[in-house]
Structure 1
Amino acid sequence: MSPTILLSFLFVTVVAAGVSFYATRKKKQQTPVSFYLGNRSLGFWMIGSSMFLTNMSANQFIGENEFVYTTNMSVMAWGMSSVLAMLVVAEFLMPMYLRIGAVTTPDFLAKRFDAQTQRIVSVVFLLGYFVNLIPTVLYGCAVAVNGIFHIDQWLGISYFSAIRLIVLLVGTIGCLYNVLGGLRAITITDVVQGVGMLIGGAMIVYYGFRYLGDGDIWHGVETLTLSHREHLNAIGGPGDVLPFGTIFTGMLLINIYYWGMEQYIVQEALASKNLKESQKGIALACVGKLFAPLLLNVPGLIAVHLYPNLENTATAFPRLVSDILPPVFIGLVAAVVFGGALSTFNAGLNSTGTLFTMNLYKPWLERNGEPADERRLLRDGKIMQTGVTIVAIIFSPYIMYFDGGFYNYLQKVSSFFSVPVFTIMVVGLLTKRVPPLAAKIGIIFFVTVYTATQFLFDTGLHYLHVLAILFVAVSAMMLLIGRLRPLNKVYTLPRQATVNIVPWRNRYLYYGFLLIIMVGMFILFSPAGIAGKQ
């Protein structure tokens, strides 16, 4: 291992941690709100950077570049369509969350339906974090770090052993970071890492094109755009893994859920000083998503030309970084990947603690007549986070044996937990008399039927279309129950805001600009753009 790579990696990582420590050294975090929501004091720079970096985990680096390498740019649709979903969240969901003083996204369900519905959804969230989010973040980071540093070769151990060792290291560091620092420490680190990510992305594109063009950047661009053009198309056909039509069905539903209801993502926006900062922060995260293909997709396109016969396609991104960048920038990118993994891991672990402590553990203590003081809640929440980390460290290395590819694993598993919750949230928002019974029946029916379509019988439809059909069917079912057994009293949204909820005055101008760029990216990577025939 090159000493320059290691020193560069350590320098960036230590600087990020040092800035976080310095900025939070005098902040008291002795209550759940201060620890889990940073005392509701985050400005838009912290919100936008943290939301973006939490999304940009090692899973994305590995999974999306692997998808581009094996298929085409249609995977870009997840990120680009996120811009529309995020703006919907900023305009409609964030004002609602801040108006009711929400600490967790299921808090709305407790007010709209009942506490039992809130607990059911909190358990669904926690299952998603246990089974999908936290283990896959650790695994993705381990694959990337081993691909860059070649830990298996350096230590003379098997690939599986190297993955297990890195998972242990990342999990331990992330858990300590979370338990000792809380949300504010995480978000400050994300701002520093976000700057590093932009620099790293620019360096990968620059050196990648130069390497591909034998020292001539423009020749590298020509090589990329004039051959293997089938990989440049982001408009997936009916036979592709991601048909373009899925953008308007299940993909849109998942994206709105992810950016507007997924606790570990929304938590940063809930911690804002006011609604204006929250909306500006989400818009800033949109800017990051528009630049994300520099790291998530373009390296995969370059790898198609450099490594036509990769045996382990998940190594496309780390191998490219290791081969094309000078040692000092390899260390920077490694630190960015490591930081992105820590950010997502920490956000997931922090949200796990929030959901468990506030929605399950505290009500349980109160029902049993036991003291639920803030010191006890914090202590036991941290113990729970540590336990989750230990289980994830043990389980995550075995993800490599999943049949169907890493990115496919991520999307399929997350779908079991996302759209069912999205459905009852949307019906709850748009109706006034649908009762709690409808929400409970709806979520159980949705999960049961979707599981059956994925494991017991083949519908012949793309799983994203299945999700959209179930969304419509379950919504209709809930409306029917609401007609037959309506609430006795019309529901009205309570006003319990703890921050200013005046919206961002110039938001529509910026929203329009972001949407135009989003559409432009689809046109660029389409048969009408660089993917067209000569």
Structure 2
Amino acid sequence: VLQLFDVPELFGLSYTQSLWLVVWVVGIIGAIYAIFGGLRAVAVSDTLNGIGLVFVGFLVPVLGFITLGDGNLLQGMKTIATVQPEKLNAIGSSTDAVPFFSIFTGILFANLFYWSLNQYVIQRVLGAKDLKEGQKGVLMTGFLKLLVPIFMLIPGIIAYHLYGNTLTSGDLSYPQLITELLPVSLMGFFLAVLLGAVFSSFNSLLNSIATLFVLDIYQPVFAKEASDEHLIRVSKWFGTIVALISFVIAPFLMYAPDGLWSLIRQFTGFFNIPILVIVLMGIFMKRIPAIAAKIVIVFHVFAYYLFVFGFKQLFGWDHGISYIHGYGILLVIEVLFMVFMGYRYPAVQSKKVNRRQSVELIPWKFAIPVSILLCTSIIWTYVLFSKIGLASTAGIVSMWFWPVTLGLAIATIVLWRVSLNAWETKYRIYLEEEYRQAE
């Protein structure tokens, strides 16, 4: 917004003052319909914003390719694939902010927490009418996630080829592309979609944190017999307070030394791994004592601080290990500790959970097959953006690209058929009952 409308010049303000102005204006608008509209307003707005984001997400790189190729779309695509193709390599080295192997040591677990345990994300799934619809929504979102390289990374590479090193910051590349490539008639639409994306994240977070506070803290501790109307009223007040606090904090994030993404990842590391460990061990080991979970949470906060910040700040020692690897290291330590506590000091009696069958819990027939397709698509995306694929110096792609693609396709077909047969075998009785009802 600052770049597209040149807010500092428009209002005669400094960059910092303009940032504060935009944060408060955008935040207040988003908070109003998140707090008073509830989850339904968030879900409806997210759907509309998502459609707009997909449209603009494809439009920007297409226009960029056409501009880069002097009016020829294919020529523009060829340019980024043959001129400095190493910039298309997604396989990060050990010196990058996100080393490639951190996918298997830390990113995997961070994303497992984000997609499976984060109320901010799963509240949509919990609102599905049954298990099948929830699974369909999650899997569709997974495929949309595969579009991120097209929507976010490719425009940055196009900007590099168009503007070189004239941009003072990489954060300015996307606004520069929008300003120069989009016709005036689409600028308003793009702004609406951009603000919608901002609202989507902010509104979902407000709705989520208000829900957690009211149901997990306020009601159990202070108002066990409170009515739904009272809880909703409290959640609105709490959401308003959180929104005001976020308005004050948000402008200071521009001073993040390694970028906002890295800062968020670093600070979410204080809670994502211990929560994941506790939930996983609760699923697989029923006799772990409650004290083990409490110890893990306290231990992780201090150990993670030392690993990421403490050793360097307190002792002047830089171990040179990425904080993302720290996720995996601490996860292993905490899992082993909880397993030890489960065997050495087992809980006397596991708490029995009474499940309310308020929705149908028969899984979607194609949940596992589509999951397999999604996994192989992720692998293929990494192959595409690697030295085997578009980052190859031997041409547009290397000689290994098509055999690897064929192998992934065959593996997908085989696993699809096997998983489908397994589902039909497991739920044969359910299928026979459906068939009889249909008759």
Instruction: Write the mapping of 1:402-481 to structure 2, written as runs, cut at 5 A.
Output: 402-457=256-311, 458-481=318-341
Q: Give me the whole-angstrom Cα distance separating, in 2, the residues matched to 1:333 and 1:287.
A: 23
Deviations 1:471-507 (A, max 9, x none): 0101111111122211112455532232111110122
Aligned-pair distance for 1:366?
Answer: 3.8
Pair 1:532 & 2:386 matched? no
Q: Give me the whole-angstrom Cα distance separating, in 2, the residues matched to 1:224 and 1:410.
A: 30
In structure 1, what residue type is equivalent to 2:267? V
Pair 1:358 & 2:215 matched? yes
Q: Give me the whole-angstrom Cα distance separating, in 2, the residues matched to 1:191 and 1:402.
A: 31
Q: Give me the whole-angstrom Cα distance separating, in 2, the residues matched to 1:395 and 1:464.
A: 25
Residue in 2 aligned with 1:219? 75
Deviations 1:42-72 (A, max 9, x none): xxxxxxxxxxxxxxxxxxxxxxxxxxxxxxx
Q: Give me the whole-angstrom Cα distance separating, in 2, the residues matched to 1:348 and 1:471.
A: 26
Instruction: Write the mapping of 1:367-386 to structure 2, written as runs, cut at 5 A.
Output: 372-386=226-240
The answer (yes or no) to whether the contact 1:174–1:346 under 8 Å persists in 2 is yes
Pair 1:173 & 2:29 matched? yes
Q: Give me the whole-angstrom Cα distance separating, in 2, the residues matched to 1:165 and 1:490.
A: 53
Pair 1:520 & 2:374 matched? no
Residue in 2 aligned with 1:318? 175
Which of 150, 172, 183 is 2:6 aligned to? 150
Aligned-pair distance for 1:255?
Answer: 0.5
3-state DSSP of counterpart to 1:372: coil
3-state DSSP of counterpart to 1:416: coil
Q: Between the two structures, name the one with larger relative contact order (CA 8 Å, sep ≥ 6).
A: 1
- Bigger radius of gyration, 1 or 2? 2
Q: How many residues align?
A: 387
Residue in 1 aligned with 2:164? 308
3-state DSSP of counterpart to 1:249: helix
In structure 1, what residue type is equivalent to 2:354? P
Residue in 1 aligned with 2:197? 340
Q: TM-score, structure 2 length as denominator?
A: 0.85
Which of 64, 73, 82 is 1:208 aligned to? 64
Q: Give me the whole-angstrom Cα distance separating, in 2, the residues matched to 1:340 and 1:441.
A: 38
Deviations 1:429-472 (A, max 9, x none): 11110011000001111111011111121332111111101101
Q: Give me the whole-angstrom Cα distance separating, in 2, the residues matched to 1:278 and 1:383.
A: 30
Deviations 1:191-229 (A, max 9, x none): 111111111112101101111122222221122111232
Instruction: Write the mapping of 1:90-169 to structure 2, written as runs, cut at 5 A.
Output: 145-169=1-25
Q: Give me the whole-angstrom Cα distance separating, in 2, the residues matched to 1:411 and 1:205.
A: 27
3-state DSSP of counterpart to 1:459: coil
In structure 1, what residue type is equivalent to 2:344? L
3-state DSSP of counterpart to 1:388: helix
Structure 1 residues 184 and 467: alpha-carbon distance in aligned structure 2, compared to 1, 3 A threshold: same
In structure 2, what residue type is equivalent to 1:405? G
Instruction: Write the mapping of 1:498-509 to structure 2, written as runs, cut at 5 A.
Output: 498-509=358-369
| CA RMSD, Structure 1 to Structure 2 (Å) | 1.5
Aligned-pair distance for 1:406?
Answer: 2.1
Residue in 1 aligned with 2:344? 484
Q: TM-score, structure 1 length as denominator?
A: 0.70
Residue in 2 aligned with 1:261? 117
Deviations 1:364-398 (A, max 9, x none): 2247xxx5222221111101110111111112111
Q: Give me the whole-angstrom Cα distance separating, in 1, the residues matched to 2:49 and 2:362.
A: 30
Q: Give me the whole-angstrom Cα distance separating, in 2, the residues matched to 1:391 and 1:264.
A: 18
The answer (yes or no) to whether the contact 1:432–1:492 under 8 Å persists in 2 is no
Q: Give me the whole-angstrom Cα distance separating, in 2, the residues matched to 1:330 and 1:413.
A: 35
Residue in 1 aligned with 2:407? none
The answer (yes or no) to whether the contact 2:36–2:236 under 8 Å persists in 1 is no
Q: Give me the whole-angstrom Cα distance separating, in 2, the residues matched to 1:212 and 1:493.
A: 60
In structure 1, what residue type is equivalent to 2:362? V
After TM superposition, the structure 1 stretch with the greater mean CA deviation from structure 2, 489-498 or 191-200, is 489-498
Q: Give me the whole-angstrom Cα distance separating, in 2, the residues matched to 1:185 and 1:319.
A: 32
Pair 1:198 & 2:54 matched? yes
In structure 2, what residue type is equivalent to 1:355? L
3-state DSSP of counterpart to 2:71: coil
Q: Give me the whole-angstrom Cα distance separating, in 2, the residues matched to 1:337 and 1:435.
A: 47
The answer (yes or no) to whether the contact 1:433–1:491 under 8 Å persists in 2 is no
Structure 1 residues 155 and 209: alpha-carbon distance in aligned structure 2, compared to 1, 3 A threshold: same
Q: Give me the whole-angstrom Cα distance separating, in 1, the residues matched to 2:259 and 2:54.
A: 27
Pair 1:400 & 2:260 matched? no
Identity %, equivalent residues: 35
Q: Give me the whole-angstrom Cα distance separating, in 2, the residues matched to 1:304 and 1:421.
A: 40
Q: Give me the whole-angstrom Cα distance separating, in 1, the residues matched to 2:113 and 2:249.
A: 26
Instruction: Write the mapping of 1:222-233 to structure 2, written as runs, cut at 5 A.
Output: 222-233=78-89
Pair 1:279 & 2:160 matched? no
Residue in 1 aligned with 2:100? 244
Q: After the TM superposition, which parts of structure 1 deviate over 3 Å for at least 4 consecutive aligned residues?
A: 490-494
Q: Give me the whole-angstrom Cα distance separating, in 1, the residues matched to 2:51 and 2:41.
A: 16
